[in-house]
Amino acid sequence: MPKFDRPQPPVFERVEDERLYRKQHLAAAFRLFGRFGFSEGIAGHITARDPEFTDHFWVNPLGKYFGHIRVSDLILVDSHGEVVKGNAPVNRAAFAIHSQIHEARPDIVAAAHAHSLYGKSWSSLGRLLDPLTQDACIFYQDHALFDDYKGVVLDTSEGKRIAEALGDKKAVILKNHGFLTAGSTVDAAAWWYISFERSSQAQLLAEAAGKPVPIDDEIATLTHSQVGTDSRGWFSFQPLYERIIEEEPDLLN
């Protein structure tokens, strides 16, 4: 079998270049979330850890439509929830949740949360996803359930409990709320969210049609090792990134 050298996330010598890369891919992720219909009012946020000030993160400004976000619109928030770069307010729930995720998981560069249709629907069931398809195996034994909804997350104590539920996994289902995904790159976190949303949609459709047959544990575990790595998540996002910057280059402004 011929060897395929899959592209890997870039490594930067200058922190300024890495910061710009993260911000460009973050803005692109928002545009794509808007394109996929994941935007709902002022809800939802994706964060990217700053590569220099690692207790700070870049995030969307409160009230800005995902599909209009540019690099220059992103705001930088410190560990106290203060906006230190940008002229717009931060979503309080974004700080309450993401600050605790980033603090608990130094390996996480980005985390994504939105109120997407199938994420909301699946979250109401209070169940983990089953390994029904190859794509669903991305999350096999690699996602968790936060079964303690108490209204809009406005306090870091609840964000901390969400981080504890996430543990060392790539995704958490927030019961009666939606999904949150995380990754070592913006690209992986965004791709995990897109894939998690589609996998939940697929399971809802399969269960509506009949009784789906899951993949057995051994094969699901193997498949997870093949499709569930962060480098695979990063790579899977690249065609979407290339498409969105070609079609909407203003996002780089």
Consecutive sets of 10 residues in the chain, 253 residues long: mean pLDDT of each?
75 96 98 95 94 97 95 96 92 89 96 96 96 98 90 77 95 95 98 98 98 97 96 97 97 97
pTM: 0.95
192 CB neighbour count, 10 Å cutoff: 29
214 CB neighbour count, 10 Å cutoff: 17
Phi first, then psi: what are they for 171, rounded to 5°?
Answer: -155, 155
Q: Tell me what pLDDT residue 149 has.
A: 73
**Which two three-digit tokens encode residue 252?**
């780089």
How many whole angstroms separate alpha carbon 58 and alpha carbon 23? 7
189 with 183: CB under 8 angstroms? Answer: yes
